[in-house]
Amino acid sequence: MKIVVLDGYGLNPGDLSWEPIEAIGDLTVYPRTGDEEFDDHAANADILLTNKTVITDERISRLPKLKYIGVLATGYNVVDTEAARKRGIPVCNIPAYSTPSVAQMVFALLLTITNRVEHYANENRQGRWSRNPDFCYWDTPLMELAGKKMGIVGLGHTGMATARIALAFGMKVYALTSKSPKRLRTGIHKATLEELFSTCDIVSLNCPLTPDTRHLANHHTLALMKPGSILINTGRGPLVDERAVAAALTSHILGAYGADVMDTEPPAADNPLLKAPNAYLTPHIAWATREARLRLMDICADNLRAFLKGNPINVVNP
């Protein structure tokens, strides 16, 4: 069974072993696959594994041997799942592997905004504390999270993990979710989108990207937020209208924006968020802890073994 990884560098830049996959079949790993390289890299593959390399209907049609497509991520919008289904090719993803890591990043961004640890550490490396006439100093607003209202959009695996951390900080948690109030953990209150944006001090976007959630944070919803409010996005870049967020930061309608994802990745050099005040952007690394990537590798191997036994799991195009 010939297995081809189209873009393996993101998952494994060299600190992990491909052994779990190598044990299953004849494995070829390409660090990246450009458009002009796709046909050559994918030729004769029985199994294709992709992270961000797009697999379209047209590309699938040129691969007569293809029997399985695995996505090395939870989101699977890079694959034409319907085209694969029509050809009897299951598409399998890796659900929930990064839940603890992404929830951790929500609070890494939030604490960066509220406590500015890196700012003060850098200042002190330059000798500022040593020169200070008093025992302490601060030149940024400092915020205590206890008692603050946190709104969470999407209460799936990551949203729920984020809610648990928020509750541990002593925060009041509100959620936009399809779950009934009776199914919510004690301390989590169900709310509408407008209620979240208008009453919460912090709003965290943890929902999937769908036609209904695209640009969920826009000029209208941002205008509802209280002055100084914080928006966190570790879900998908297009959940926000980036120009609207940049404008809200510049006009101080929004206090700060912390995001690990952007509409286009990598972003264009002229993306307004890159220079917007109080925008804290990380390069899509929430999923990339070693622990999360090890889980991803193991789940991918489990998916392959289940497929080869005739009982595929984590199928997104049944």
Q: Known catalytic residues?
A: 236, 265, 284
Which amino acid is located at 257 in the chain? Answer: Y
Q: How far apart are CA 18 and CA 26, in angstroms?
A: 11
Beta bridge partners of 217: 240
Q: How far apart are CA 39 and CA 60, in angstroms?
A: 10
Chain centroid to CA 197: 21
* Residues making up the chain, counted from first to last: 318
Give the number of other CB atoms < 10 A from CB of residue 142.
8
Contacts of 206 (CB under 8 A, 6+ apart): 102, 106, 152, 153, 154, 155, 156, 158, 159, 162, 234, 235
Contact by Cβ (8 Å): 138, 79 = no
d(C-alpha 99, C-alpha 95), whole Å: 9
**Distance from C-alpha of 190 to C-alpha of 180, rounded to nearest angstrom:** 8
